[in-house]
Amino acid sequence: MNELQLKYGCNPNQKPSRIFMENGADLPVTVLCGRPGYINFLDALNGWQLVSELKKATGLPAATSFKHVSPAGAAVGLPLTDVERKIYFTGSKPLSPLACAYARARGADRMSSFGDFIALSDVCDADTATLINREVSDGVIAPGYTDEALEILKAKRKGAYNVIQIDESYRPAPIEHKQVFGITFEQGRNELDINREMFSNIVTANKELPEKALIDLQIAMITLKYTQSNSVCYVYGGQAIGIGAGQQSRIHCTRLAGSKADNWFLRQHPKVLGLKFKKGLGRANRDNAIDVYIGNDSEDVLGDEVWADTFEERPEPLTAAEKKEWIAQFTGVSLGSDAFFPFGDNIERARRSGVTYLAQPGGSIRDDQVIATCDKYNMVMAFTGIRLFHH
């Protein structure tokens, strides 16, 4: 089959809509369940490329959570810590590496991942399908599904959940096209291989780049390759913990991604872990309540009625001083940027969220200022020489 009719395009008024192969070849995707839409396929195909490259770079199963053609989270399949199990609501049952990757990708920014499209690098197993089944999601793309996993996913949303299988041997043409306002654009595909050599040009006084940081920087840059620009990505322990996408200013990317990274750290604070929710409260409501709780340091965050509807007992506030002290414990975070940092203010903001290692193209007229700011804090920064804009 070389064509698939879609319900509509980006919006319901944009009809007709379809995906198809211009050369008459068969589509490399098969819809196993549901009826994916135009934006679903944009998320699915970008997400698939991202996880494929993560798997190739790290040798580990990978997953990503996509929303509006940018990742909300991306991760590789390292084991979950006890704290991560709690903040990701996975329970105590041992999980497969792929399920761990998905839990970490989804858990990085649970607010943004609400209603996401998932991409998996490996055949979806029952562990992963069970986690997906619990969350509010639009669909999933993977190179295959076990019988048990497919049965679980086909039952989701009363049989309307979107399940796509992709031919992992598919390779697109080296030249790609898109149309804007009736005009066709053509460019070579971004086939850049993001490997360890990209981080060999370390320009700071501190040149100690440990193995974990090398992996995290690869994850950051591969994630940015499929994130709408301008974009910045914070990575810690094999998972993106803060992604700032589609901002017109670099510093706004850094602030946005940094605030998401801070939220991820704060979800692990003992006061947050100790919140006592009402029985039966849904995951989305818990996530909303946690974000509101983290975002305020006053007892007047919510009215008594809302607290009563959410918690078994009114929680003690998490003060600004407590938040600052908690976040300050985290160091060794890696940060990637899809284009150069024009000013040292980006470094100052990144440092507040535990960043120690950075990768960026370089090429600003103020590179010396940016390097000097890194040196002030004994950070390690590599110039990659490669821009990763994605539009």
- Angle among Cα 179, 68, 348 to the nearest 5 degrees reads 110
What is the distance between the alpha carbons of residues 310 and 119, in angstroms, rounded to a whole number?
32
| Whole-number pLDDT of residue 92 | 86
What are phi and psi for residue 60, nearest 5 degrees?
-110, 150
Catalytic residue among 93, 158, 279, 391: 391
| Residue 230 known to be catalytic | yes
Residue 216 CA to residue 235 CA, distance in Å, equals 6
Burial environment of residue 364 by CB neighbours within 10 A (0 to 12, 13 to 18, 19 or more): middle
At 132, list the tokens. 């997906």
User: CA 214, CA 217: separation in Å to the nearest integer?
Assistant: 5
Give the model's pLDDT for residue 103: 97
List CB contacts of 77: < 8 A, sequence separation 6 or more.
60, 61, 62, 63, 96, 97, 98, 99, 100, 101
Instruction: With beta carbons less than 8 A apart as the criterion, state whether 4 and 38 touch.
Output: no
Q: Which of 56, 68, 86, 271 is catalytic?
A: 68
Cα distances from 198 to residues 53, 137, 187, 230, 237, in angstroms, run 15, 35, 23, 20, 20
User: Which listed residue (230, 269, 323, 346) is catalytic?
Assistant: 230
Residue 324, classed as helix, strand or coil, is: helix
For residue 316, what are the CA distances in angstroms to 277, 287, 298, 322? 13, 18, 9, 12
385 has which bridge partners?
none
Q: What pLDDT, on the 0 to 100 scale, is given for residue 104?
A: 97
Q: Is 178 among the residues known to form the active site? A: no
User: Tell me, what amino acid is at 157?
Assistant: R
As averages over each run of 10 residues, the pLDDT of the chain (391 residues) reads 90 94 90 96 97 96 96 96 93 93 95 94 98 96 98 95 97 93 93 93 97 96 96 96 94 96 96 91 87 73 64 86 95 96 94 97 94 97 95 91
Q: What one-character DSSP code corresponds to residue 354? A: T
* Active-site residue identified among 40, 46, 67, 162: 67
Q: What is the DSSP letter of 331?
A: -
pLDDT score of 350: 96
pTM of the model: 0.94
- Domain 194-266+327-383 architecture: 3-Layer(aba) Sandwich (3.40)
In this prediction, residue 256 carries a pLDDT of 96
Residue 391 annotated among the catalytic residues of the structure: yes
Give the model's pLDDT for residue 305.
Answer: 56
Q: Going by DSSP bridges, is the β-strand pair 162-166/29-33 parallel, antiparallel, or unpaired?
A: antiparallel
Q: How far is CA 259 from the centre of its chain?
A: 14
**Pick from 118, 120, 123, 104: nearest CA to 239:** 104
Rounded to an integer, what distance in angstroms lies between the CA atom of residue 300 and that of residue 219? Answer: 39
User: Which residues touch 133 (CB under 8 Å, ≥6 apart)?
Assistant: 152, 153, 155, 156
**How far out from the chain centre does Cα 341 lie?**
21
In the chain, how long is the greatest CA-to-CA distance?
63
Angstrom distances, CA of residue 12 to CA of 6, 31, 43, 111, 161: 11, 21, 18, 25, 19
Quote the CATH superfamily of domain 3-171. Answer: AICAR transformylase, duplication domain (3.40.140.20)
Q: What's the pLDDT score for residue 253?
A: 95
**Vertex 37: Cα angle to 174 and 22 (nearest 5):** 35
Q: How far apart are CA 33 and CA 132, in angstroms?
A: 15
